[in-house]
Amino acid sequence: MWTGLKLIGVLLMLIGLLLILRCGGDVVNTGDVVSEASATMVSQTGCKRFDSRSTMVDISSSLDCVDYEYDGTANLNIRRTNTGFNCCPDSLTASVEISGSVISIDEIEWVSEPCRCLCLYDMEYAISGVAPGTVTLQFNEPYLEEGDAILSITVDLAAEPSGSICVERSHYPWGVEQ
């Protein structure tokens, strides 16, 4: 009888240990180095204007872009340019999932009373605990249409600590000079 109770006790301790380790953060495996990682949204713009009076415009409204910069040790800064959301969100957030060497960012809007328009926004993220190596950044956007390219980039952070990629979008809200 004690043998069965000991086995149950050992199993419960192992389950508890696994839960404690899992709650510590997402594991990013970038090649041979595994590290704990966390992500936060650093900033976001309001609805961007693309008319001649605006000083915010730095790229065409038809481009959907990501710029990244890695500090060589553990910090990855990401700037998203021209991501599409409703014009009247209660809040804009992101859910970051890290699985192996893939960093997947779901861009999310919370809207209680949506407006009948869409806007482009810029957002910045900071991800810490990313080891040098090859990673894939993938962005899941709410207003892509069937057939649109997913904004994704695979880079070796040790060899290319900074860079950018843009995809051209030809449907609303992209490519519309407001």
Say if 148 falls within a structural domain.
yes
For residue 110, give Cα distances in angstroms to 23, 26, 54, 114, 130: 26, 25, 26, 9, 28
The total of structural domains in the chain comes to 1
Say if 164 falls within a structural domain.
yes
Say if 94 falls within a structural domain.
yes
pLDDT of residue 40: 84
| Ordered per-residue pLDDT tens for the chain, 178 residues | 545 545 444 444 434 333 333 333 333 333 433 346 778 889 989 888 765 444 445 688 999 999 999 999 899 999 999 999 999 999 998 888 888 899 999 999 999 999 999 999 999 999 998 889 999 999 999 999 999 999 999 999 999 999 999 999 999 999 875 4
Q: Are 170 and 154 in contact (CB under 8 A)?
A: no
Say if 62 falls within a structural domain.
yes
Say if 8 falls within a structural domain.
no
In order, the DSSP letters of 38-88 are: EEEEEEE--S---STT-S---S-TTEEEEEEEE-SSSEEEEEEEEEEEESS
Beta strands per DSSP E along the chain: 26-30, 33-44, 63-70, 75-86, 91-99, 102-110, 118-128, 134-140, 151-156, 162-168
Say if 18 falls within a structural domain.
no
What is the residue range of 77's domain? 26-168
- Give the predicted TM-score (pTM) of the model: 0.73
Say if 70 falls within a structural domain.
yes
For residue 63, give Cα distances in angstroms to 33, 83, 133, 135, 137: 34, 9, 28, 23, 17
Say if 175 falls within a structural domain.
no
